């Protein structure tokens, strides 16, 4: 996809595109539907140095998983959030967001949205807005230590989305600490959560990071939600039923629900790190979540 995305950068000025995205559309759903699964939209977005993707807000929830490049940032609800490889940035429903780039090489990220579901519900709309005023400080700094929360005068923030940026360095360190602490643990996985409540970071789609130890093969329990796998670091194989995908860094693949999935680290020397998006929060809320051992 990378050469195609860079070609899109040559052909399409950002002023015309507003967002320059190649959509990872599942032909099984119909290419024009622009969906990877029933509830998941995936896109690879390119921002070139100096470009500006103007402010808007919309009802579908989005996250960005940064794939490559330095110097870009997203401003969400007045918080200027740096984008570095592997970072997860939330742009939850209704919050203003815009993207800028002060670096000198292309920046690419994976957009994950619950757009297909919100569109199906006839609840999808979007509003353009003026450039945001940036507030001082970064939300992620105050939630950077597990187990302690900012509690001015004993009060919680009670924000629906208190944390908007999950730096990769911290998620990666948490996975390595977990793997070192529990050598027999099979699924070395951490979930992206609301740090105030411990609930899923967003209401519809769930996000996690998983580490495969060198040479490890991990068979996932068969579950009802569809899943997306994006390789942040290393080399992996994703076996979905009878189809296998060899993932290199920055590759993405999907698995439908109710399907056996086996993950293998293709390196016997180095760990592999995957970002996973799934429809589990939605399935649980609707009462259709199933796990089959």
Interface residue with ligand GTQ among 19, 80, 266, 284 (CB under 6 A) is 19
Least separation, in Å, of the C-beta of 16 and ligand GTQ? 15
Q: Is the CB of 46 or the CB of 190 nearer to ligand GTQ?
A: 46
58 lies in the site for ligand GTQ, by CB under 6 A: yes
Would you say 82 or 215 has its CB closer to ligand GTQ? 82
Contact call for residue 21 and ligand GTQ (CB under 6 A): yes
Task: Give least dist CB 60 to ligand GTQ, A.
Answer: 7
Closer Cβ to ligand GTQ, 64 or 223, answer by number:
64
Among 26, 35, 37, 45, binds ligand GTQ (CB under 6 A): 45
Q: Interface with ligand GTQ includes 111 (CB under 6 A)?
A: yes
Residues 79-98 that bind ligand GTQ (CB under 6 A): 97
> SS3 for the chain, per residue?
CHHHHHHHHHHCCHHHHCCCEEECCCHHHCHHHCCCCCCCEEEEEEECCCCEEEEEEECCCEEEEEEECCCEEEEECCEEEEECCCCEEEECCCCCEEEEECCCCCEEEEEEECHHHHHHCCCCCEEECCCCCCCCCCHHHHCCCCCCCCCHHHCCCCCCCCCCEECHHHHHHHHHHHHHHCCCCCCEEEECECCCCCCECCCCCEEEEEEECCCCEEEECCECCCEEEEEEECCEEEEECCEEEEECCCCEEEECCCCCEEEEECCCCCCEEEEEEECHHHHHHHCCCCECC
For ligand GTQ (CB under 6 A), the number of binding residues is 9
Which stretches of the chain bind ligand GTQ, using CB under 6 A?
Answer: 19, 21, 43, 45, 58, 62, 97, 111, 113
């Amino acid at each position: 996809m990378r050469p195609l995305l860079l070609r899109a950068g040559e052909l399409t000025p950002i002023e015309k595109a507003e967002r320059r995205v190649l959509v990872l559309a599942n032909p099984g759903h119909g290419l024009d539907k622009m969906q990877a699964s029933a509830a998941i939209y995936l896109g690879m977005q390119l921002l070139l140095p100096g470009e500006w993707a103007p402010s808007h807000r919309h009802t579908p929830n989005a996250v960005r998983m940064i794939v490559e490049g330095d110097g870009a940032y997203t401003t969400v609800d007045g918080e200027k959030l740096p984008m570095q490889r592997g970072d997860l940035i939330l742009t939850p429903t209704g919050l203003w967001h815009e993207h800028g780039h002060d670096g000198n090489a292309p920046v690419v990220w994976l957009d994950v949205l619950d757009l297909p579901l919100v569109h199906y519900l006839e609840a999808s709309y979007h509003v353009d807005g003026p450039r945001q005023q940036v507030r001082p400080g970064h939300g992620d700094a105050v939630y950077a230590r597990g187990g302690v929360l900012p509690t001015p005068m004993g009060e919680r923030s009670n924000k629906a989305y208190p944390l908007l940026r999950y730096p990769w360095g911290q998620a990666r360190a948490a996975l390595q600490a977990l793997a070192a602490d529990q050598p027999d643990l099979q699924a070395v996985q951490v979930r992206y959560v609301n740090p105030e409540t411990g609930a899923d970071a967003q209401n519809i789609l769930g996000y996690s990071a998983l580490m495969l130890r060198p040479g490890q093969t991990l068979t996932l329990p068969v579950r009802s939600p569809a899943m997306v796998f994006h390789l942040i670091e290393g080399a992996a194989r994703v076996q979905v039923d009878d189809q296998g995908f060899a993932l290199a860094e920055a590759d993405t693949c999907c698995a439908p629900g109710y399907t056996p999935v086996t993950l293998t680290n293709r390196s016997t020397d180095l760990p592999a790190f995957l970002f996973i998006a799934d429809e589990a929060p939605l399935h649980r809320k609707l009462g259709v979540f199933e796990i089959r051992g």
